[in-house]
Amino acid sequence: MGFLKKMSFFGKLFGGKKEDEGPTPGEAIQKLRDTEEMLIKKQDFLEKKIAEYTLVAKKNAAKNKRVALQALKKKKRLEKNQLQIDGTLTTIEMQREALEGASTNTTVLESMKNAAEALKKAHKNLDVDNVHDIMDDIAEQHDIANEISNAISNPVGFAEDLDDEELEKELEELEQEGLEEDLLKVPGPTELPALPTPATGAIAKPVKPQAKKVEDDDDMKELEAWAS
């Protein structure tokens, strides 16, 4: 017994033959499918033989009972065998479905594990605090850009020199000047209408204004007299 243990130890130490690890999930699934196909073919064969024995039993039921009974016995035996195959197929199908599910889960978990390792590798050189600092810098630069845009869009040194009260006062003065000009432009009467006489009630003809001219001539004569 001690010798066998030593041999086993040295076999492992110097790379002895490894124990059989068994088939892979894919190989096991394929083996179960092959078995299912074989059992289904056997079922089809039994189905045909059962139909043949049933026909023999019918034909000899009245003529030859011994042959009919032998056919029925074989038919019953084949039907029993067929039921066993049905149960075996159900078991194999359940086992295959479970193995396929386990294989799928293994594949999914392996993929998720690889994705987790890749994600971990991608985040290896990233730090949460650094990310927050970068986002703060981006927000700050956006604020600076907005301030610059607002400063550029406003006219420099123009809006501050204007006073709303002065502008309103100047506007009122302009409105007043406009009203006065409109009043000066209104035409006045150059002639007065003639009044009717008490006797006839006829309208007298308008008299042309000559008094101003006579007065001017008199003033000129007086100035000439003073000058002589």
- Does domain 23-122 correspond to CATH entry 1.10.1040.10? no
Q: What percent of the chain has pLDDT over 90?
A: 36
First to last CA, the chain: 177
Nearest residue to 54 (alpha-carbon basis) of 28, 77, 21: 77
| Residue 195, pLDDT score | 55
Q: What percent of the chain has pLDDT over 70?
A: 68
pLDDT tens by residue, 84-121: 999 999 999 999 999 999 988 988 999 999 999 898 88
| Residue 186, pLDDT score | 60
| Residue 156, pLDDT score | 61
| H helices, E strands: number in the chain | 6, 0
**pLDDT of 205 higher than 70:** no
| Residue 134, pLDDT score | 85
pLDDT band at 14 (very low <50, low <70, confident <90, very high): very low
82-91, 162-171, 203-212, 218-227, range with greatest mean pLDDT: 82-91
Helix extents (H) in the chain? 2-13, 25-59, 65-122, 128-153, 164-184, 211-227
pLDDT tens by residue, 107-160: 899 999 999 989 888 888 877 888 888 888 899 998 999 888 888 877 665 555
Contacts with 59 (C-beta within 8 Å, 6 or more apart), sequence order: 68
Task: Measure the CA angle with vertex 22, ends 16 and 25; round to 5°.
Answer: 140
How far is 169 from 176, CA to CA, in rounded Å? 11
121 versus 44: the higher-pLDDT residue is: 44
